Amino acid sequence: MKKVFKRIFVHLLIVQVFITPILSTAVYAQQPYGSSSSSLLYSSPSRGYQGMGNQQQVMPGYGMPQDTYFTDSMGNILMYINVLGEVYKPGQHIVRQDSDISNVLSLVGGPKEDANLDKAKLLRYKPDDDGKQTYEINLEAYFEEGDRSGFVELKPNDTIVIPEDKGIDTNMALRIAALIVSAASVIAIASD
């Protein structure tokens, strides 16, 4: 009877050690961009240039190509920029023609704590004259030293992507520790 109980217990621990992490990983993989930011990724465009106080609504975004410049009622030259990933206000935003990446980052509330700043990318809507469409941007150098030399001039409908840092967080560290303890328990029980 004692051996039967021991075998059942060992089988339950094996299921806990090997099956549970696989199931939890599968559920986590189904959540795009993490659950906290996925609902914000497809938010509506900004409601106009915010630096000018009360002004007339810019264009509604329909009927005009978004890969061109346009003007508001005060003559400011504006364009659409898309920001995706680990920022506080991802989505499509309207910025001035002379805006750079730091202006856009301040408009979207800055990067989140889990943003991977040295892997940010700028994706062009249309390739440049030299055929380049993707630019690596090291935002870590900008935030540490104020170095803007890695910035690229923004063009209409460019997309800035700031990925999530895939390091081990506290939750993952606790899962790994629990997995090690469970494996040690299985080994200890099986060796008796």
Taking only the tens place, the pLDDT of each residue in 20-50 is: 666 665 544 444 444 444 333 333 444 444 4
Alpha-carbon distance of 44 to 137, in angstroms, equals: 25
Same domain (yes/no): 175, 152:
no
pLDDT at residue 136 in the model: 93
Q: How many domains does the chain have?
A: 2
Task: Express each pLDDT in 83-120 by its tens digit.
Answer: 999 999 999 999 999 999 999 999 999 999 989 998 99
Q: What is the pLDDT of residues 60-69, one digit of tens each?
A: 555 556 778 8
Classify residue 127: in a domain, yes or no: yes
Domain that holds residue 131: 50-162
Q: Do residue 22 and residue 92 come from a single domain?
A: no
Verify that 100 and 65 share a domain, yes or no.
yes
Verify that 118 and 23 share a domain, yes or no: no
Q: Which long-range contacts (CB under 8 A, 24 or more apart) does 72-78 make?
A: 72/48, 76/49, 76/52, 78/49
